Amino acid sequence: MAVPAYASPLERVWYYLHRLICALVLLFLISPILAIMPLSFNSVPFFTYPMPGFSLRWYQDFFLTDRWQGALYNSIFVACSTTVLATTLGTLAALGLSRANFPYRTAVMSMLISPIVVPVVITAVGMYFFYADIGLLNTYAGLILAHTTLAAPFVVITVTATLMGFDHSLSRAAAGLGAPPHTVFFKVIMPLILPGMISGALFAFGTSFDEVVVVLFVASPEQRTLPKVMFAGIREMISPTITAAATVLILVSVAMLTTVELLRRRSDRLRGIRNS
């Protein structure tokens, strides 16, 4: 957005100063990322600058070592399972909360998004004792359910935001024409809220893929995820392979955020909102 032609000199100065401040804040936030990514190509096992040379040895270690690959496969399996379960439950919850006659909507919504507000270590301790009592501790099912608890609120929020602009008269019209409930959902509701569902699914995948605290409490040594291996590597044996793994995670996160932004713009275009 350009400076308006009628802007005063003071407004023009603030316009550019505001953008400079935002750029400096952004640079401060991403500076650790900018520092760690080049180190993943370091030819020597040191976290120092200047680098004596460039090498792909740490990426070879990451993609060819059983320890890292096993952790990567575990993370992908748990994250994909969590995404499916969280998207399903979160979408159903958002559809229920969007009904005008839903009782105690605010209280239920607060309860559903509480895993985002409560410190994750408290949630992890509670899950540890609860899963130990019901026999889900140190199991893939327990780990997936724990990650679903953390990921579902993101789906609820994104789908609920999408449903804010949804015209419920469309579903009532479809039902009035004789369409059964499942047909109304898959043919009328789902195509319109699909961008929100996909955005929520991406956030759910990222939440599960990057989570480490809950994994430390409820997972067994056989269920090592990638963040857990990275965390253990920092504590026990600092290896430059961690920088390669971090770079891969950063690229995955950037791809996910880019997809979410493209979906947001597509949703705005469908609703007739112009992107500035």
Quickly state the pLDDT bin for 270 (edges 50, 70, 90). low
CA distance 245 to 37: 10
pLDDT attached to residue 77: 93
Top CATH class of 63-270 equals: mainly alpha
pLDDT attached to residue 105: 84
Q: Stretch 108-124: mean pLDDT, rounded? A: 89
Whether the per-residue pLDDT at 272 is higher than 70: the answer is no
The ranges assigned to domains in the chain are 63-270
**132-160 pLDDT, tens digit each:** 999 888 899 999 999 999 999 999 998 88
> Among residues 9, 23, 5, 147, which one has the least CA distance to residue 85?
147
CA distance 29 to 124: 27
Q: Which two tokens stand for residue 2?
A: 């350009």
Q: Stretch 96-103: mean pLDDT, rounded? A: 81
pLDDT attached to residue 230: 85
pLDDT attached to residue 152: 92
Whether the per-residue pLDDT at 167 is higher than 80: the answer is no
Label residue 208 exposed, middle or buried (CB < 10 Å: 0-12, 13-18, 19+): buried
Residues 6+ apart with CB under 8 A from 65: 241
pLDDT attached to residue 80: 93
Q: Give the mean pLDDT of the chain.
A: 84
CA distance 251 to 276: 26
Quickly state the pLDDT bin for 84 (edges 50, 70, 90). very high
CA distance 49 to 34: 13
122 neighbors 240 (Cβ within 8 angstroms):
no
Kindly tell me the sign of the dihedral angle through the C-alpha atoms of 34, 37, 39, 43. Answer: negative
**18-63 pLDDT, tens digit each:** 889 999 999 998 888 888 888 888 887 777 778 788 888 888 888 8
pLDDT above 90: percentage of residues in the chain: 24
Phi, psi of 42 (to 5 degrees): -70, 140
3-state DSSP call for residue 150? helix
**173-192 pLDDT, tens digit each:** 888 888 888 888 888 888 88
Quickly state the pLDDT bin for 237 (edges 50, 70, 90). low
